[in-house]
């Protein structure tokens, strides 16, 4: 069990603000486990997940890989839910498809009487002990790590697998398999992964594109442009994308809808014009997952061009 902090490890401080202070052994103390389960607790410095970084997440994946390589049958990771989407996607992309890793957290802190921490932890251990591939275990479901996205700020069942659904449901301690993941493990054979800076630029009706210029000036090697609809941006976007690509910055398009596939379908600043300017398209990846994918792609040039790698990521390698 790798404990990293988050709401699941939080208590209120003197101001009433939640801070992650609970260590792994205390979290585990109230969790009923099968008598044949032996748990090694690895405490990392507890942080709220909104304060973490992609390099820090990469270090967590390295610890997970080390534990699996040392003979652990499975790993449970406790993590804050704000960035659990990124953590799970990164884990699924970097580890082999059969890695038994269950990532979980809580929407209500462990110090609350109605916390969901104990049930989620119990379910996560059941999932990890059942050799389910990398998944997010929350609200009675195990969702593939490559598919999981947070869809509610506070509900107990805050995670969804989108069109892919769930890998398993957990009922009274029983893990009932429903499906197998088709995406993930694109970078599993890659060593010395780097994760260059990738920024997100969101747009709305009438937005300007100075933020693209600001990201370039700040040293971003990639920019995820969260576009409208099928991947459309409007006036000024084509020039901004063309300038970024000419400067060696990769531009990846997602949709602010959070669902469906982006394609180069429209002109007049739409996706077709953006593709001609050099933008690439993230398929159906959510913006958060697309950012992780682009950072991995830029840090793994031996696997191909960013466009080729992103295609493999969202279509399934």
Quickly count: other Cβ atoms within 10 Å of residue 186's Cβ: 23
Query: CA 194 → CA 183, 208, 244, 285, 311, distances in Å?
Result: 21, 31, 21, 21, 19
Cα of first residue to Cα of last residue in the chain, in angstroms, is 29
Catalytic site residue from 7, 52, 104, 254: 7
Rounded to whole angstroms, the Cα distance separating 49 from 80 reads 5
Quick check: is 7 catalytic? yes
The CB-side HSE value for 5 (13 A sphere, CA atoms) comes to 19
Strand partners, 11: 19
Q: List the alpha helices (DSSP H) in the chain.
A: 24-29, 54-69, 84-94, 117-128, 210-217, 237-246, 271-276, 287-298, 306-315
CB 57 within 8 A of CB 64: no
- Active-site residues, by number, are 7
């Amino acid at each position: 069990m790798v404990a990293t902090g988050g709401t699941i490890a939080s208590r209120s401080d003197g101001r009433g603000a939640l801070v992650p202070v609970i260590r792994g052994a205390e979290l585990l103390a109230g969790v009923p486990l099968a008598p044949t389960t032996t748990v090694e607790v690895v405490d990392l410095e507890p942080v709220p997940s909104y304060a973490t970084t992609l390099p820090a997440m990469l270090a967590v994946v390295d610890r997970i890989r080390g534990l699996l390589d040392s003979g652990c049958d499975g790993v449970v990771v406790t993590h804050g839910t704000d960035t659990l989407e990124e953590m799970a996607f990164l884990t699924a992309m970097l580890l082999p498809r059969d890695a038994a890793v269950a990532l979980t957290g809580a929407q209500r802190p462990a110090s609350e009487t109605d916390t969901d921490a104990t049930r989620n932890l119990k379910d996560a251990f059941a999932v990890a002990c059942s050799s389910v591939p990398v998944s997010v275990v929350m609200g009675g479901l195990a969702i593939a790590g490559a598919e999981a996205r947070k869809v509610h700020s506070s509900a107990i069942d805050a995670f969804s697998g989108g069109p892919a659904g769930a890998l398993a449901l957990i009922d009274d301690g029983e893990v009932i398999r429903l499906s197998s993941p088709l995406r993930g493990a694109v970078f599993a054979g890659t060593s010395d992964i780097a994760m260059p800076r990738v920024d997100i630029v969101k747009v709305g009706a009438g937005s300007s594109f100075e933020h693209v210029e600001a990201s370039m000036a700040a040293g971003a090697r990639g920019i995820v442009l969260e576009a409208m609809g099928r991947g459309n941006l409007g006036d000024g976007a084509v020039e901004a994308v063309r300038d970024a690509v000419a400067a060696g910055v990769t531009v990846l398009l997602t949709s602010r809808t959070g669902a469906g596939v982006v394609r180069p379908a429209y002109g007049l600043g739409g996706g077709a014009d953006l593709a001609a300017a050099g933008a690439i398209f993230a398929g159906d990846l959510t913006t958060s997952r697309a950012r992780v994918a682009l950072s991995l792609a830029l840090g793994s040039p031996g696997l191909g061009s960013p466009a080729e790698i992103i295609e493999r990521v969202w279509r399934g390698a």
